[in-house]
Structure 1
Amino acid sequence: MEKQEETLKRWRLLLGGQNADGTGVSLNDQEKQIDEALSALYDFEQRGKFEYGPNQKGGSGASQPNVARWLGDIRQYFPTSVVQVMQQDALQKPELQKKLLFEPEILEQATPDVHLVATLMELGKLIPSKTKDTARRVVQKVVDELLEKLSQNTIQAITGALNRGVRNRRPRLNEMDWPSTIRKNLRHYQADYKTIIPEDLIGFGRKTRRSLKDVVLCLDQSGSMGSSVVYSGIFGSVMASIPSIKTRMVVFDTEVVDLTEDLNDPVDLLFGVQLGGGTDIDRALGYCQTVIQKPNDTILVLITDLYEGGNQQQMRQRMQEIVASGVQLICLLALNDEGAPYYDARNAKFLGDLGVPVFACTPDLFPEVMAAAINKQDLKQWAGDQDIALKG
């Protein structure tokens, strides 16, 4: 009989629903507390809010959310393996996730990835002081992993493109690019002498104190662009380490913030971004126009879904002015691995008609985009060769 009653109680706790569960069993005080802890999480959708606190009775009531107390209670009532499952289930609920991430213990257990960093960026200044150090460690871990994955290919692609653009055809001995010279002159191989006659000499470009290219990354920091902002911050930081490129980072919603000075520390840069809010592309482009000093040697990468909340007519006029000035304007609707993004098709078409390439880009492909832009290739043709669907 006791075994049967124990089984019914387990079913009662599993089913919830109090008197409507059909088991007909009653719970003691501790079992009611366990039931409340389960109901707070798994009846979340039915209630529409997280209810847990000392005033709650039998799964009803209007207690204020008390995530910290709930975390303490589930650790008391359930084994570690179950606690971990419940915490992970809670993190899957967007409305509850942000409250949980304020707890250092939960944040340490969460899977560190681009999406988690984007969520922390969205929380921004709301993160309590007790959690800030943990949040920074999480962001640092993701940043380190992305830098290890992306920096080498980015530097190789961009420096290779720059070197091709400044080839020295009359090099001194210490400026010789021997591998390129040998490949160029293989057709002049003399079999009798077992040597190559180097008719065309290729050398590395002479060092210069000025940048060969200016790059402006202009990032939409509205909530939908979270992962794109994370990747953009990483690439901006990598490009800022290349002496021959002058890189500027501008983020915007309805305000415009220049984060160029933070490019040497991508963690600080990402914490300087405040995701969410409206979108004023016109205002951001207006600021970019003021900082562009060498239009013919400038690449402006506008990363946005093109949903304009400001003056659309004036935004389009600025786009025309930027293109007419000689700036290479590229519009990336997204910079992530999340598939086709939502975007304003009318503004995309407007840019396309101006000759501006408009497409979504994966992080793995971004270095090649920049290399093609540095070499002033036809990016629309280049995108077609890469089977990238242009949206303009």
Structure 2
Amino acid sequence: MTEESQSIDGESRSRLSRWRLVLGGNEADGIATGDGHRVELSAADARRDAALEELYGEPTKGRGGLGASSPRVARWLGDIRGYFPSSVVQVMQADAMDRLGLRQLLLEPEMLRTVQPDIGLVSTLVGLGRVIPEHSRETARSVIRQVTKELEERLRAKTIQAVSGALNRSARTRRPRYRDIDWNRTIAANLKNYQPEYRTVVPEKLLGHARRSSEIQRDIILCVDQSGSMAESVVYSSVFGAVLGSLRSVSTRLVVFDTEVVDLTDDLDDPVDVLFGVQLGGGTDINRALAYCQDQITKPAETILLLISDLYEGGVAEEMLRRAAAIVGRGTTMIALLALSDSGHPSFDSDHAAALAGIGVPAFACTPDLFPDMMAAAIERRDVSEWAASQDIVIHHEP
């Protein structure tokens, strides 16, 4: 066979593969090559076929719907952004509004009584944000507000307690001014130096709190990947951002990105506004986001940068790693959270996770319930990798 005929044959197979994707992968589609063999899909086309089947295939028990399947729907919304161009994604999202019952749900608010709003439903609504009709947005906002309020109530007390306690502990010093000495702790630490003849304790070390010229003790930057697969992490990040933003002792900045970077710090007091400011997309430029965050760091040693991303970099990976190394090199505490969710093991770029670990950026997934303790460890400048290991969290090491 000549090179030209091989090329034509390849083009024919590609055309037949597209027809098979259109007609479906069942035996009845009848798509075959000239020699009678059925067209086999490539691995990439097989994933596209599965995504199409989820939406357009014959209804089966457990497929679609909004109840317990919401997390799967949210993942599907993330998947299609990686498999299809944006013009096709918008068509599929619009079709999903009808086929999943979302349009009816949002147009008839009384239907909310039949669906339990949860993190999966919110993730779905965030993923469909661009195609939700304008006249339905208020209903969508009410659903999101209900869920984020419940999440904030559940997580607020533990977060404030953990962060405030860590700030107090980190402010302690062994060289306090006289008025800042903590006498109870100082006496307890020096009891071995009690002098019976003088009936007194001779303090070998003084314990107290350092005076600060400002109420702000730490700068926290949440840098959140808003690619479609990160929907649940975006929801939890908005909630934690609101809680941290309410603390006077820390300065909190929320930055979201795909191929563009958006600073949502001004909306931190309302997670609903944050989530409606998010536009989940398919591309990712982590390097560009880190460049923006790097410009916001004015006190490196007092700053904690949380990169919440699956690390699938669409930009220049080498430049991303160089920039992360520069940030850490200046004394900033940087952590890569591969996911901030309850959804189990995330999909992520293991090579980039290992490379970040090699330059001093621990990379692991974290559940919302563990997030406050992780923040406490970072604020106290403890080894965050050791903390994660103590929680039986899988940490990704350098190659």
Asked if 1:293 corresponds to 2:302, the answer is no
The answer (yes or no) to whether the contact 2:67–2:116 under 8 Å persists in 1 is no
Structure 1's 118 and 203: CA in aligned 2 closer, same or farther, altered over 3 A? same
The answer (yes or no) to whether the contact 2:309–2:338 under 8 Å persists in 1 is yes
> Map of 1:123-162 to 2, 5 A cutoff?
123-162=128-167
Give the Cα–Cα distance (whole angstroms) in 2 for the partners of residues 214 and 369 of structure 1: 15
> Map of 1:257-268 to 2, 5 A cutoff?
257-268=262-273
Give the Cα–Cα distance (whole angstroms) in 1 for the partners of residues 55 and 133 of structure 2: 29
The answer (yes or no) to whether the contact 2:166–2:380 under 8 Å persists in 1 is yes
Aligned counterpart for 1:227 among listed residues 218, 232, 235:
232
> Which one is further off, 337-346 or 206-215?
206-215
Residue identity in the other structure for 1:309: G
Aligned counterpart for 2:375 among listed residues 370, 374, 377:
370
- The alignment yields a C-alpha RMSD, in angstroms, of 3.2
> Which one is further off, 195-204 or 127-136?
195-204
Give the Cα–Cα distance (whole angstroms) in 1 for the partners of residues 69 and 331 of structure 2: 51
Give the Cα–Cα distance (whole angstroms) in 2 for the partners of residues 123 and 212 of structure 1: 38
Gaps of 5+ in 2: 1-52, 60-64, 74-95
Give the Cα–Cα distance (whole angstroms) in 1 for the partners of residues 171 and 127 of structure 2: 42
Give the Cα–Cα distance (whole angstroms) in 2 for the partners of residues 164 and 208 of structure 1: 17
Match of 1:315 in 2: 320
Match of 1:214 in 2: 219
Aligned counterpart for 2:282 among listed residues 277, 285, 291:
277
Match of 1:303 in 2: 308
Match of 1:110 in 2: 115
Aligned counterpart for 2:344 among listed residues 339, 343, 347:
339
Aligned-residue offset at 1:271: 1.7
Give the Cα–Cα distance (whole angstroms) in 1 for the partners of residues 68 and 339 of structure 2: 29
Match of 1:240 in 2: 245
Gaps of 5+ in 1: 1-43, 51-85
Structure 1's 189 and 219: CA in aligned 2 closer, same or farther, altered over 3 A? same
Structure 1's 135 and 190: CA in aligned 2 closer, same or farther, altered over 3 A? farther
Give the Cα–Cα distance (whole angstroms) in 1 for the partners of residues 68 and 168 of structure 2: 51
Residue identity in the other structure for 2:57: G
The answer (yes or no) to whether the contact 1:357–1:379 under 8 Å persists in 2 is yes
The answer (yes or no) to whether the contact 1:281–1:310 under 8 Å persists in 2 is yes
Structure 1's 123 and 389: CA in aligned 2 closer, same or farther, altered over 3 A? same
> Which one is further off, 336-345 or 264-273?
264-273
Aligned-residue offset at 1:131: 2.2
Aligned-residue offset at 1:87: 8.2
Structure 1's 172 and 110: CA in aligned 2 closer, same or farther, altered over 3 A? farther
Match of 1:48 in 2: 57
Identical counterparts, % of pairs:
50
Structure 1's 122 and 87: CA in aligned 2 closer, same or farther, altered over 3 A? closer
Give the Cα–Cα distance (whole angstroms) in 1 for the partners of residues 274 and 156 of structure 2: 17
Structure 1's 209 and 90: CA in aligned 2 closer, same or farther, altered over 3 A? closer
Aligned-residue offset at 1:49: 7.6
Aligned-residue offset at 1:259: 0.4
> Which one is further off, 196-205 or 242-251?
196-205
Structure 1's 237 and 208: CA in aligned 2 closer, same or farther, altered over 3 A? farther
Q: 1:102-145, CA deviations, whole angstroms, 9 ceiling, x for partnerless residues?
A: 43343453211111111111122422233222222211111111
The answer (yes or no) to whether the contact 1:171–1:201 under 8 Å persists in 2 is no
Give the Cα–Cα distance (whole angstroms) in 1 for the partners of residues 289 and 128 of structure 2: 23
Give the Cα–Cα distance (whole angstroms) in 1 for the partners of residues 392 and 243 of structure 2: 26
SS for the counterpart of 1:308 is coil
Q: 1:157-185, CA deviations, whole angstroms, 9 ceiling, x for partnerless residues?
A: 11111111212664677x67677567656
Structure 1's 385 and 319: CA in aligned 2 closer, same or farther, altered over 3 A? same
TM-score (norm 1): 0.70
Match of 1:327 in 2: 332
